[in-house]
Structure 1
Amino acid sequence: MSHNTIALNQRQQPLDHLESVWLFGYGSLIYKADFPYLQRRPACIWGWQRRFWQGSHDHRGTPEAPGRVATLIEAPGKRCVGMAYEVTPDVFSHLDHREKNGYLRFFTELQWLDEADSVQGLVYVAGPDNEAYLGPASEEEIARHIARSEGPSGPNSEYLLNLANSLRELETDDAHVFAIERALLTEKSG
């Protein structure tokens, strides 16, 4: 599958008939909401884990030297904490462009962190079948990769550090993200 998924998302998930849609963010969408939203709430999804296995040719790297950004992998029984936004469907023209580098969107159940209720919402996931997928590596290898990557949206390390800080603000422990952060800080100080 091509890493540019704009047309595919718009064809597979037409949203024009909806008044509003919940969107779950687990990477930069947690801390960088550069789109209008009706409300936002801390939430989680079950059965998924955040991993720095997706390449970024357009934001935190280049086509010649992609950075590494978060995607989700299936993990039964695990939960991924992030931020949910209620948005109007017109916002997805911007979001589909922002998340075009291999991410497909689909509906899943979002559970609020502050109450037991849940709602259906969209999430963008970049699977192993897209051209930009980099796959697993050790946290130390990922940190070294991130330390040397930069793209139009800035240094890849900025993305990682902002995500780690946002997860702390949500009072969630993400062992993968925090291990990469520790390795990156060691790499930068050495």
Structure 2
Amino acid sequence: MANEGNTSLWVFGYGSLCWHPGFQFGASSVGYIKNYVRRFWQGNSTHRGVPGKPGRVATLIEEPEGWTWGVAYEITGECALRYLERREVSLGGYNTTVTNFYPRDASRPPFPVLLYLATPASAEWAGQAPLHEIATQVVQSSGPSGHNVEYVLRLAEFMRRHVPEGYDEHLATLETLVRMRIKENNLCLSTLMGEAPVDHLSHQNQPDHHNQEAQPQEERRDTFQYSAKLPPKKLRCLNV
């Protein structure tokens, strides 16, 4: 675990990195960063949308006194860093910065983490919009990594399960609106959600733990996979 003398490189996940890091990491720690809030203001046409019909994904907006909960991962090896740079920067349109991370365990000191975030100058920046419009866009968008609905709902479920103290009104409201749109349009939720990811935190009782070269994760339908393997096919429900 990080300490004052630790020189390891860590990355902070607040979006899909929470429930699908996609790379092998050394240790992980649930906690938060200060002066940022999570917003679904970044467009996406490489993972959760397509050119001409982008989806909406999370970014961080600077806000004094704000905070965002998530997971910090210790990066082990150049392969993991190259993977993140391609996933987040080349394909995601995010920029990089560094900020302090505060572990859930207050007895542990804060430590610096790598942060990927989008700004109005970023590629595919979508910007602020009413949440009901963002929800509609989410329900109507899908890309190489899966449906945009999956991105929103799995993040909300992860936060509820692993970080109950990290309530995020923006995310919670968006989840509610997305579920309403699914019901209104008589859509099949299991089809939208795709294959369930490996829950990399559930096998530990402690929120902060060493992953010890994390077990290979279930491969997904990504264009940015750490390794390639086709997921098993399963029957999907149909609404008629």
TM range (shorter): 0.7 to 0.9
Q: Distance in 1 between matches of 2:46 and 2:22?
A: 16
Q: Distance in 2 between matches of 1:102 and 1:162?
A: 21
Q: TM-score, normalised by structure 2?
A: 0.70
Matched, 1:102 2:96: no
Match of 1:35 in 2: 23
Q: Distance in 1 between matches of 2:77 and 2:168?
A: 30
| SS at 1:99 equivalent | helix
Q: Distance in 2 between matches of 1:43 and 1:135?
A: 26
After superposition, the Cα gap between the structure-2 partners of 1:126 and 1:89, relative to the gap in structure 1 and judged at 3 Å, is farther
Match of 1:115 in 2: 106
Aligned CA-pair RMSD: 1.3
Q: Distance in 1 between matches of 2:47 and 2:72?
A: 22
Match of 1:50 in 2: 38
Q: Distance in 2 between matches of 1:121 and 1:181?
A: 27
Contact 1:107–1:122 (Cα < 8 Å) also in 2? yes
Contact 1:26–1:82 (Cα < 8 Å) also in 2? yes
Percent identity, please: 38
Question: Following superposition of structure 1 onto structure 2, how do residues 74-153 of structure 1 map, counting pairs within 5 Å?
Answer: 74-90=62-78, 91-100=80-89, 101-116=92-107, 117-153=109-145
Q: Structure 1 residue runs of 4+, over 2 Å off?
A: none
In the TM superposition, what whole-angstrom CA distance separates every residue of 1:19-71 from its partner, at most 9, and x where no partner exists?
Answer: 63011000000000210100001021000000000011110001121100000
Q: Distance in 1 between matches of 2:172 and 2:130?
A: 13
| SS at 2:56 equivalent | strand
Query: 1:89: how far off?
Result: 4.8
Aligned positions, number? 173
Higher helix share: 1
Match of 2:170 in 1: 176
Q: Distance in 2 between matches of 1:20 and 1:114?
A: 19
Find the structure with the greater CA-based Rg: 2
| SS at 1:38 equivalent | strand
Unaligned runs of 5+ in 2: 1-5, 185-240
The one-letter code matched in structure 2 to 1:142 is I
The one-letter code matched in structure 2 to 1:135 is G
Q: Distance in 2 between matches of 1:69 and 1:124?
A: 12
Contact 1:19–1:88 (Cα < 8 Å) also in 2? no
Q: Distance in 1 between matches of 2:158 and 2:118?
A: 21
Query: 1:93: how far off?
Result: 0.4
Higher strand share: 1
Q: Distance in 1 between matches of 2:143 and 2:39?
A: 20
Q: Distance in 2 between matches of 1:131 and 1:41?
A: 30
